[in-house]
Amino acid sequence: MVEMTIIEIDWETAMLYEEGISTRSNKQRVATVVAHELAHQWFGNLVTPVWWSDLWLNEGFASYVEYLGVEAVEPSWKILEQFVTQETQNVFALDALRTSHPISIEVHHPDEISEIFDRISYGKGASIIRMMDHFLTSQVFKSGLTRYLKRHKYSNAEQDDLWRALTEQAHEDRVLPKSVTVKTIMDTWTLQTGFPVVTVSRNYDNNTAVVVQEKFLLYKPTTNSSSDIQKQKALWWIPITYTSSDVLNFTSTYPSEWMRREKSITIRGLPSSEDWVIFNVLQTGFYRVNYDERNWKLLIKHLKDKSKMHDIIPTNRAQLIDDSLNLARAGLLNYSIAMDVTQYLYNELDYLPWESALIAFSYLDDMLIRTAGYDMFEEYILKLIQKVYEEIGFRDDMKDPQLVIYKRIYILSWACALGHEDCVKNSVKLFKDWMLSKDPDSENPISPNLKSIVYCTAIRVGGEKEWNFAWERYLNSNVGSEKDLILEALGCSSEIWILSRYLDWSMSETNGIRKQDVAKVFGALSENPVGQMLAFKFLRSQWQKLKNYLGPSMFSISTIVRSATKWINNDLEFSDLVHFAKQNSHDLGAASRAVDQVVEQAAANIRWMESNYETIVKWLTDAVR
- Catalytic annotation, residues: 37
349 CB contacts (<8 Å, ≥6 apart)? Answer: 387, 388, 391
Rounded to the nearest 5 degrees, what angle is found at the Cα of 621, between the Cα atoms of 617 and 625? Answer: 175
Query: Could you tell me which residues are beta bridge partners of residue 202?
Result: 209
Is the Cβ–Cβ distance between 430 and 446 less than 8 Å?
yes
| CA–CA gap between residue 547 and residue 551 (Å, rounded) | 6
Is the Cβ–Cβ distance between 295 and 246 less than 8 Å?
no
Find, among 546, 544, 556, 480, the residue nearest to 507 by Cα. 546
Is the Cβ–Cβ distance between 141 and 166 less than 8 Å?
yes
Count of helix runs (H) and strand runs (E) in the chain = 28, 12
Q: Rounded to a whole number, what is the distance in angstroms from the first to the last CA of the chain?
A: 54
Is the Cβ–Cβ distance between 538 and 531 less than 8 Å?
no
64 CB contacts (<8 Å, ≥6 apart)? Answer: 125, 126, 129, 130, 133
3-class secondary structure for 117-175? CCHHHHHHHHHHHHHHHHHCCHHHHHHHHHHHHHHCCCEEECHHHHHHHHHHHHHHCCC
Query: Could you tell me which residues are beta bridge partners of residue 242?
Result: 279
Is the Cβ–Cβ distance between 589 and 309 less than 8 Å?
no
Q: What helix, strand, coil percent values describe the chain, rounded to 5?
A: 60, 10, 30
Residue 508 burial (CB < 10 Å; 0-12/13-18/19+)? exposed
Cβ atoms within 10 A of the Cβ of 179, count?
A: 6
Consult the annotation and say whether 579 binds a ligand.
Answer: no
Is the Cβ–Cβ distance between 119 and 94 less than 8 Å?
yes
Query: Could you tell me which residues are beta bridge partners of residue 238?
Result: 259
Is the Cβ–Cβ distance between 502 and 487 less than 8 Å?
no
- Binding-site residues sit at 36, 40, 59
- Binding-site residues for Zn(2+) sit at 36, 40, 59
